Structure 1
Amino acid sequence: MPSDSAPAPVYKRILLKLSGEALMGSLNFGIAPDVMNFVAGEIKSAIDAGVQVAVVVGGGNIFRGEGLARGGMDRVTGDQMGMLATVINALAIQDSVERLGLEVRVQSAIRINEVCEDFIRRRAVSHLENGRVVVFAAGTGNPFFTTDSAAALRAVEIGADLMLKATKVDGIYTADPFKDKTATKYEHLSYDEALNKRLGVMDQTAMVMCRDQKMKLRVYDMDRPGALLRIVNGEPIGTLVTV
């Protein structure tokens, strides 16, 4: 719980979307322990402030089904393999956060009961209300849907007040700031603007779902220490996307 001197968080329940690639850090493949420890610390800071935290994680650091599909693999099989990669990452997050003294539950959209729970919405909400971190794995459980779409879906299902997308840049820009030095940052966007300008924030399915369900989205730099806590306390870090 937050201390008496700490500001009260603006958001009660959040969903944090992490890409698999973000977990690699400086590696070319796999999971970087220093990144996992950093992410766990950021999550703990939000929990300690009294915020309920759910996480959706991708699997691109281990396997990308879409890429192999372009090389000839059956797309459904490739996507199923990618779902399993997200379970590996979810278990890594679980371990890192638990080592900080928090309770964590991994819920998978595909049945893999030996290592994690099935996704059940009411159970997920109960875990959150009891102070546990919930990590959602295996996307939506269906091929052809990205983990961005899974994050949007889960955020709506659990009634999150805010969805956060952690990236390598400090918000949404008019162009890729690593390639275009004239790119400028948006402080606030509507979903329709982001869709019409094709800014690549998330895939269109995820964006439309967030728009239609009036889910607020904030895109921010995950490498910025303390950013998650500052966001839940109401600071305008990154770019906010709303209806």
Structure 2
Amino acid sequence: MSEPAVALVTGANKGIGFEIARQLGRRGIVVHLGARDAGRGRVAAAQLTAEGIAAYPLRLDVTDAECVADAARALGERHGRLDILVNNAGITGGFFGPPSAATPGDLREVYETNVFGVLAVTNAMLPLLRRSPAGRVVNMSSTVGSLALTADLDAGAPGFKDYNLVTYQSSKTALNALTVAYARELLATGIKVNAANPGFTATDMNGHRGHQSVEQGAVVAVRLATLGPDGPTGTSQDDAGPVPW
């Protein structure tokens, strides 16, 4: 019998990340819960273990190069490969206002996690993903990162007109560009790279104002993480299918 697939979900000690880990684990996948706070990671992993899931905490601060390298080394020593990487860790930052009031520091704060962190983690894990017979990378994006949707200045993406989030919105647009770039680079390897748009989900990030549950929000990421060999790469999708870039 073949060994179970191995997954890493960043920012997995709570919210959508935790639920993605849970749903992957229920499919028999060994899940590693990346968490910046080691204690919270252990608590989250113990909860999934109690549910019969093979879950392990992994100290992972995506903005800390040494921590990222240590996490990749630990996964390599334990499994020798990685089959699924879900780049879920993300922040909104402390700035809520129009772009004319933002500073480079406001953007940098968010980009450190939402963009640079994804790049750092993905590059660190790529040697392990290349050893997988079916590597999958899922970047957690958002409909507010879609230029096609937000370019409609009268309507915009769902929820975007309710608040000014130029830092978060632009970071997800940049993440979309990264997704396409990785998909192009890895096209011949069989590693599939896609962006998941969970929808307006109730989490700490939005003060639980979202209209859908984390169980619903996790579905698209799990689907993209478990794509078969004929599945797409270089796409942005929500639970209904492709979302325009």
Q: TM-score, normalised by structure 2?
A: 0.38
TM-score normalised according to structure 1 size: 0.38
Which structure's residues are more often helix, by fraction?
2
Q: Looking at both structures, which has the greater relative contact order when contacts are Cα pairs under 8 Å and sequence separation is at least 6?
A: 1
